[in-house]
Every structure is written in C-alpha cells, then in structure tokens.
Amino acid sequence: MTELHKLTLTEAARLLQSREISAVEMVGASLARLEATEPLIQACLTVAGEEALAEARALDQAGPDPARPLWGLPLTVKDVFLTKGLRTTAASRYLENYIPAYDARVVERLRRAGAVIIAKTNLDEFAMGNSTEFSAFGLTRNPWNPIKVPGGSSGGAAASVAAYQSPGGFGTDTGGSIRQPACLCGCAGIKPTYGRVSRYGIVAFASSLDQAGPLARRVRDCACLLAAVAGPDERDATSSLHPVENYGAAAARPLAGLKLGLPRELWSANLDPEVRSVLKAALHTLEGAGTKLVEFSFPSLKYTVAAYYVLASSEASTNLARYDGVRYGRRAGGSGGLAELYVSSRQSFLGPEVRRRIILGTFALSSGYYEAYFQKAARVRRLIRDDYARALAGCDFLLAPVSPLPAWDLGRFIDDPVTNYGLDLMTLSVNLAGLPALAFPAGLGPTGGLPVGLQLIARPFEEMALFSAGLALEEAFPPLL
C-alpha cells in the first residue's frame, strides 16, 4: 500500500470507509509527516495533535459512516477560520492569544462530515499578501524549493498539501489567495462563486471579495471538499440559496469540442520564460485533443490591479477598524489618551503591509477622494463583470495563467509593493466579478523545475461543470504530487 500520508483524499476516504485503515492510523500518519517536515516548511501556526488523535479515536469507536463523506480524514484550515477552543491568529500579533468560543461555519460542516482538523496553517497577516512572507510568526517555505515562496495568502495551506502533511486543506481567496499558492506549489485549488460558501466565522479582509475554498492534490479531492461545506447559511447574509450539486460525483467531459476563451490581455502579459514555455506546450496539447481555443479582448482588465487595491484596501480599513486596543485583540500599554491607545496598539501589533493597506483604504474613502477613487473603482468593477459575462456567453469556459512567475526567491519583492501587487494581475479580476475558478498544475518549468499552473473560469455557480472540465484537463496534464 502507498504510504498513508501520500494517499489522495479520495483514496484515503475509500480506505477509511472500508475499514482497511483506521482514523487513528490516517491522522497519525499525517501528524508524523507534519512533525518531520514542519521544521523546514513552517506551514502551520498551531498543531492540534492531541485533540486530533482524540477525535480520531472517537471516530474509530463509533465506526465509519457513509453519511459522513470526510470520515477520519485529517485536514488543515487557514488560520482565519475560527476554531472553538483552538487559537486563531490571522497570523497577526493583534490576535496572538485569541481563543474563539465557536467554530466558523466551514469548520462546523467539516466536522459534521467527519473530518479531523489537525492544524491551522500560516498566511500573510490578515490574508494581505501573495507570498506568506507577511506573517507575524515567520514565513512559510515552498516544499519544491525551500528558498522559494509558496505563494499567498493561503501559502501555508498549499505548502502543507504539497509537503504531504495532509490530503487537503481550506484557504480563502480574496484576490487569488487559493489559486496562486496552489499554482506555485503544484496542487489544485478552487475559488468558488462568491456566496457559494459561508463566510461566517472567517476573519474578514474584504467582505465583498473574500471566499473560502479547498486545496488538494487532485481536482476530485477539491470537489469532495467543496461539496461538504457549500450551501446557504442563515448566519451569512451574503451566502447564496443556489442549490448545491454533488460535486464529488462529477464526471470528466471530453476535451474534444470544448470551447475555451483566452483573455488576450492575460496571455499577452509579461510572462516569465519558464511560465510561457509550459503554457505554450499546454495550449498545443489542448489543440491536439480537439479543444477549440478562441481569443477574447478584455478592455477593462488593464484597470484590474488599481481597482482591486482601492476596493479591497477600503474594505480592509473598515473591517480592521475594530482592532483598536479597546474591543478586540491586544492592547498596548501607555498612560496617554484614547488616540494614543489606538495609535500605539496598531503600531505595536499590526505589520507594515497591513498598515499600508489600511492607510490606502482610509485615504480612498476620505472626504474629497471617495468619488475619485472608491466610486470610480466600483464602476470599473462593473465593467470587468460585464466583460466576463460577454466572453463567457461565447465559450464554455475561460482559460488563463495564474501567475506570471513560477515561485520566486524569498525576499525578492518584499520591499517593492508596486511590483508585488502587479503580480496579482492574473487572478484579481475573477474576485471582482465574483466568478468560480479552478487552478490546476500544467507542468514543470523546463529549467527551474518549478510548478506552473492554469486556471479555468466559469459562469456563476457552474462549479459542477468546472469540475467536469477540470477532471478532463487533469488527464491531459498529469498531477505533479
């Protein structure tokens, strides 16, 4: 039998349900792998080893349950999901000692499906970043090459999957934070339609953009994980009532006859030669399989980065106003007045990237600038959404790169925010439009040997069709893990 920690989520689920392996064995194997790899990778902020094994023993005592599709599976969740009795920090000193009194809705549904949460994974502080270098508790390294970034902000979740610490994990995607680290770490990840998954109990970054989703080594694994958590929630006013399909039962559709739109502005961007080489070969493979590739022009995409960072930072400045040293999180000492308390608490416990975005957002919302920045960005968002609707009316899906670079060296862009923000061009517009997108590996760079990925973009709530096409693409581009 394959080493337990290398089983895919679907393989492990089958063996657990048939009692060929026990929950304690599966959870124990993941914890042992985590212990062996964590000193180098640093993917996790909190490991729930004893609690996880206790849960696994209780599951074994009760026995497998077909009605609980994730029974006995060890999973991780990004450290923005509240976990009752287990520290939740959002990778910020502000929440360093925060122990939630309740579970996020996603965590509730995972537990109900039989999953065992083994760890909380690292991220850029408050999910603001694309490299997991902006964590207050130390950076995460890419398992493919430890001098490289794993992507972000869900870099810990992706690195954990790629290091075989767990067969799957959950992250959040505000501007590419599931798809980009999945791409850089060689695994699959889906950003669902906005409203498909409840945001209840998730530490907020930008409320109109945040969406939770899974990362795993296979497309079908992502489908099974999404099926377990998707659906309406009366505690989240933005969650959709749209019916949830049995994503795990998706069947691969033929590539022949599939019509894929290529956004010209993304494919003609300044791609690294390693990325361009892999993606050029991928398009050749698709054409050879009978897929029809059609270029589309997206005039509004050139405004994506500017519009996103105005809107996301504005929402962040509002959401993070609660962290004032009075109501939430830690409080800095001092004998001054209230204004000094606010300033000293924020300066002491918020990192430089978070403070930068709060300042940017506060400026965009301030009197005299609201119309020029926030309202203009909101109008651009509508243009982007309309462009996507027109393009998707003429094809089955859109296909685009995920990152213009393979995983880059740690520290390369950490002091260059303008260049760093520009690296998000490929992913931001999907969040602005609220669409679902599935990221999957397309191959390894011919020289550097690092993963390169693609994303498949669909109409709202077409996750089932997205998984069907993704399964076919996975056959064309074999998994890297």
Q: Point out the catalytic residue in the list 78, 120, 148, 191.
A: 78
pLDDT tens for each residue of the chain, 481 residues long: 579 999 999 999 999 999 999 999 999 999 999 999 999 999 999 999 999 999 999 999 999 999 999 999 999 999 999 999 999 999 999 999 999 999 999 999 999 999 999 999 999 999 999 999 999 999 999 999 999 999 999 999 999 999 999 999 999 999 999 999 999 999 999 999 999 999 999 999 999 999 999 999 999 999 999 999 999 999 999 999 999 999 999 999 999 999 999 999 999 889 999 999 999 999 999 999 999 999 999 999 999 999 999 999 999 999 999 998 887 788 887 667 888 888 888 888 999 999 999 999 999 999 889 999 999 999 999 999 999 999 999 999 999 999 999 999 999 999 999 999 999 999 999 999 999 999 999 999 999 999 999 999 999 999 999 999 999 999 999 999 9
The Cα 481–Cα 468 span in angstroms is 20
Whether 153 is a known active-site residue: answer: yes
CA 44 to chain centre: 15
Give the integer Cα–Cα distance in Å for 113 and 107.
10
Q: Which residue, among 219, 390, 384, 380, has the nearest Cα to 294 in the 3D structure? A: 390
Is the whole-model pTM more than 0.85?
yes
3-state secondary structure of 261: strand
For CA atoms 202, 206, 212, 215, the dihedral sign is negative
CATH class, 4-249 region? alpha beta
Q: At what angle do helices 304-319 and 425-433 cross, to 10 degrees?
A: 60
Owner of token pair 């050029």: 280
Per-residue pLDDT tens digits for 456-475:
999 999 999 999 999 999 99
**Helix ranges restricted to H, 4-48:** 9-17, 23-41
Catalytic residue among 177, 300, 345, 429: 177
Scan for tokens 């998706």, then name that residue.
Answer: 250
What would the DSSP string read from start to end of 147-201? TB---SSSHHHHHHHHTTS-SEEEEE-SSSTTHHHHHHHT-EEEEPPTTSB--TT
Active site residue 177: yes
Catalytic residue among 153, 154, 166, 240: 153
- The C-alpha angle with vertex 7 and arms to 143 and 4, in degrees rounded to 5, equals 95
pLDDT digits (tens, 9 = 90+) for 260-301: 999 999 998 899 999 999 999 999 999 999 999 999 999 999
